[in-house]
Amino acid sequence: MIVAERKSIPELLDILAGHKNVLVLGCGTCVTVCLAGGEREVSIIASALRIASRTRGLGLNISELTIERQCDNIFIEQAAEAIEKADAVLSLGCGAGVQAIAERFGKKPVYAGLNTKFLGILEERGVWTEKCAACGSCVLHEYGGICPVTRCAKHMLNGPCGGSREDRCEVRPDRACAWQLIYQRLKNIDQLERLNKIELPKEWDSSLSGGPRVIIRQDHRI
Amino acid sequence: MSTNNTELTVVAFCCHYCAYAAADLAGSMRLQYPANVRIIRTPCTGRLEVEYFLKAFEHGADGVLIAGCEEGSCHFKEGNLIAKRRVSYARQYLKESGLEPERLRMVNVSSAMARQLTDHIKDMVETVRKLGPSPLHRATSLTQQEIRS
């Protein structure tokens, strides 16, 4: 899922400066699961903005709404009336959600209320970790299902680097060495021979360095 | 709601299994505590969400007290520990929003600790009294005055 983190209230007030009627718009998908932009967070941030507005005398009128998915026009339609009524939208969706809303409502200012961080998983209660860099050309099959592009601080395809201590990364000692994990995993599944292969430099043209990516499925187009 | 210091309002969310029973006992023991407190019974402090605290301030509370079981004694094992973390998170929001975080406090008592509960209430009311009425009151009063003039 996409993992995001809230912006601070003073930061949001700066972003919203000059607007009076603001809609705080939540998203019921990834950012709900990572506790950043779901219905509950919409309620908390809207409350905090109202309190901040009253303590600072800003006169903000904050309304709230959460839709199932901000990155999908079918669901965006459900917010159309509320968005039309507001002067501006503070989207608590991920970066894709914010842009989807902005594209759909061309004349409405739409602002990001979250910082979109990474593609990750819920590791344990209250802890999310990055697992995928969306590089566009997956190599997980070569590394026992552990991504060196994302989880090795040096993105090494032919590791380990030699700097790790025990099973800890030398760049961030609080993190596991991805190559230690890869070795252990390949050993567990009897595929250690994969490590004998020298991996060639990765083709990065499928990544973001080639500009925004598009996938077209002709079989699904009308 | 008045901005007079004698009419400050402190909302106290009291756990059914401890603080609420302690408040009941305080009544039986004829212990006095400030009349500023509005007690709300909750099945467990772990049931309380961050937005409840913020909404209480939004709706006119000058202070919010959360009274749960002693740590290690929660009827639901760790509800009071969850509440403790939520209170800490909500205080961060209060700070960012321009309200003093001291207006929100969590205390721990058992159902037998009526005297300690009344002391906590007195202390909380005193803290809020020192801080003065919530700035949200002042904002509201100003607006009402502006409307009147």
Half-sphere exposure for A8 (CA within 13 Å, toward CB): 9
Kindly report the nearest CA distance between residue A5 and chain B, in angstroms.
Answer: 14
Chain A partners within 8 Å of B54 (Cβ): 44, 47-48, 51
Of A26-35, B4-13, B116-125, B127-136, the poorest mean pLDDT is in B4-13
CB contact under 8 A, A44 and B93: yes
CB contact under 8 A, A55 and B50: no
**SS3 assignment for chain A:** CEEEEECCHHHHHHHCCCCCEEEEEEECCHHHHCCCCCHHHHHHHHHHHHHHHHHHCCCCEEEEEEECCCCCHHHHHHHHHHHHHCCEEEECCCHHHHHHHHHHCCCCCEEECEEEEEEEEEEECCEEEEEECCCCCCCHHHHCCCCHHHHCCCCCCCCCCCCCECCECCCCCCCECHHHHHHHHHHHCCCHHHHHCCCCCCCCCCCHHHCCCCCCCHHHCC
Answer for the pair A22, A85: CB distance below 8 angstroms, yes or no: no
ipTM for the whole complex: 0.88
A126: burial class by Cβ within 10 Å (0-12, 13-18, 19+)? exposed
Q: In this model, does residue B125 exceed pLDDT 80?
A: yes
Q: Would you tell me how many other CB atoms lie within 10 Å of the CB of residue A57?
A: 11
Q: Starting from the edge strand earliest in sequence, which strands make up the sheet with B37-42, in order? A: B37-42, B10-15, B63-68, B104-108
The three-class DSSP label of residue B53 is helix
Chain B partners within 8 Å of A10 (Cβ): 96
For residues B42 and A26, give the distance between their C-alpha atoms in angstroms, rounded to a whole number.
Answer: 28
Residue B37 sits at φ, ψ, to 5 deg, of: -85, 135
Q: What is the pLDDT of residues B36-47, one digit of tens each?
A: 999 999 999 999
Q: What does the mean pLDDT of chain A come to?
A: 96
pTM: 0.91
Of A201-210, B23-32, B113-122, the poorest mean pLDDT is in A201-210
Size of interface A-B (CB pairs under 8 A): 47
Structure tokens at A134: 């969306």
Q: What secondary structure letter does DSSP report for B3?
A: -
Q: What is the pLDDT of residues A58-76, one digit of tens each?
A: 999 999 999 999 999 999 9
pLDDT of residue A166: 86
Q: How would you label B24-43 residue by residue, b for 16+ Cβ within 10 Å and e otherwise?
A: ebbeeeebebbebbebeebe
Structure tokens at A49: 């903005």
For residues A214 and A83, give the distance between their C-alpha atoms in angstroms, rounded to a whole number.
Answer: 28
For residues A34 and A67, give the distance between their C-alpha atoms in angstroms, rounded to a whole number.
Answer: 16
Kindly report the nearest CA distance between residue B60 and chain A, in angstroms.
Answer: 11
For residues B129 and B127, give the distance between their C-alpha atoms in angstroms, rounded to a whole number.
Answer: 5
Q: Which band of pLDDT confidence, cut at 50, 70 and 90, is reported for residue B2? A: very low
Between B7 and A76, the higher pLDDT residue: A76
List the single best residue of B47, B51, B94, B142 to mutate versus A (max A Cβ within 10 A): B51
CA distances from A191 to A144, A176, B7, B144 (A): 8, 21, 73, 74
List the single best residue of A41, A55, A61 to mutate versus B (max B Cβ within 10 A): A55
Of A14-18, A208-212, B21-25, B98-102, the poorest mean pLDDT is in A208-212
Closest by CA position to A114, among listed A16, A5, A15: A5
pLDDT of residue B146: 47
Between A206 and B88, the higher pLDDT residue: B88
Q: What is the pLDDT of residues A98-149, one digit of tens each?
A: 999 999 999 999 999 999 999 999 999 999 999 999 999 999 999 999 999 9
Nearest beta carbon to residue B58 from set A10, A40, A51: A51
pLDDT of residue B1: 42
Residue A139: what residue type? V
Structure tokens at A144: 């026992």
Answer for the pair B148, B62: CB distance below 8 angstroms, yes or no: no
